[in-house]
Amino acid sequence: MVEISGTAPPRFAAVKDAFAANFEAGLELGARFTLVQAGETVLDIWAGHADRAKTRAFDQRTLTPIFSTGKAVVALLIARLVDETKLAYDQTVASVWPEFAQAGKGAITIEQLLSHQAGLSGFPDPMEPSEWFDWDAICAKLAAMAPLWPPGTASGYHPVTFGYLTGEIFKRVEGRTMGTALREDLAGPFGLDLWIGTPDSEAGRIAELQRPSALPDFGHVNAATRAAFLTPWSQPGGRSAAEWRRMEIPSANGHATAEALARLMGALANDGWLDGEDILSPALVGEMARERIRGQDRVLPFVMSWGAGVMRNETEHPWGPANQSFGHSGWGGSCAFADPETRLAGAYVMNKQSTQLMGDDRAKRLIEAAYASL
């Protein structure tokens, strides 16, 4: 029997049971699941090990790589610029990044880019994987690149390029990197253990990943899918793990606890309020979550509904039954979601990765049990 630590009130007994069942079925190495409702943490449980050798406990200080779950944080950071009238969703990317207008991209708007409609899911031409560590070089390549499909006609998930595109916009408007703004404006002041660009001082508490034994099922593979996921240069490589952790790639290399993610998403489920402070107006929460496009994605094998940087729950339901929920999933199984109707938010992190691209069964069981307990 797995030993589960943390807090799980009796009304969430079914969630704790589902969490234990995931371990007993051999599906987990270490994991944590946190729920926040109306701004209060109502469940926070963790168990297992932080390393493959099972010598280090997965505890409440364990950081896990969250990969694309961090895109929900990116969406919030951009939404805060819109809330402050420093940016508008309907203005063009080129209005803040003039070089981006090359190759017919001058009309692409911020919200089209945030909803993965820009046609820049990855680089089709060969490059060194280490080139991803040169921020300015990657942004110059994206600015010069011709879209892989007509922008605005369909979504096509941008797994890594999304972080450079949004991060460059943010830096040009705000003057700071996303990682710096996250640390100075949200993570530090509110005690959120959440990082974009993780310093060496935190490396000792990062969980070791157990990677999946197979690739995900991408369905029909096209040029956009290959560029996004299936070339040798589709992901950063050729550098040390420490360099990867330190690099700020907002779309891909965040580290966090489930508690930090759930509290941040809890603000989005609670009219923008975090610990009694307004971090986003209710109007902007709704505007961020509003649907920008719906349909068969060109990269992912799903019918997607995209808001301004967030996945919307109502087409594929990765996060329980609520149509109005929104959030993001990450490679291997992590996720974070917000449901403004019930004011419920949650986050699941783990270090044994699965091959599921979205709606990992382990997290789905926990979230469905949570809704049944409300």
> What is the CATH classification number for the domain harbouring 152?
3.40.710.10
Residues 32 and 258 sit within 8 Å (Cβ to Cβ) = yes
Residue 272: which domain range? 5-373
- CA 257, 159, 322, 266 dihedral sign is positive
pLDDT band for position 241 (50/70/90)?
very high
Beta strands in the chain (DSSP E): 5-7, 30-37, 40-48, 64-65, 194-196, 254-256, 273-274, 277-278, 293-296, 303-306, 311-312, 326-329, 335-339, 344-350
The residues that bridge with 254 in the sheet, in sequence order, are 196
| Confidence band of 363 (pLDDT split at 50, 70, 90) | very high
- pLDDT(1) > 90: no
Q: How many domains does the chain have?
A: 1
Q: How confident is the model over 328-338, as a mean pLDDT?
A: 97
Q: Quick one: pLDDT at residue 213?
A: 87
For the segment 17-33, the average pLDDT, to the nearest whole number, is 98
Instruction: Give the span between the Cα atoms of 189 and 199, in whole angstroms.
Output: 18
d(CA 170, CA 136): 14
Tokens read off for 365 = 């069981």
Q: How many CA atoms lie within 13 A of 68 on its CB side?
A: 20
Please provide the average confidence, as pLDDT, over all residues in the chain.
98
Q: What is the pLDDT of residues 118-163, one digit of tens each?
A: 999 999 999 999 999 999 999 999 999 999 999 999 999 999 999 9
Q: In what order do the strands lie in the sheet with 64-65?
A: 64-65, 254-256, 194-196
Closest CA to 152 of 120, 176, 186, 181: 120
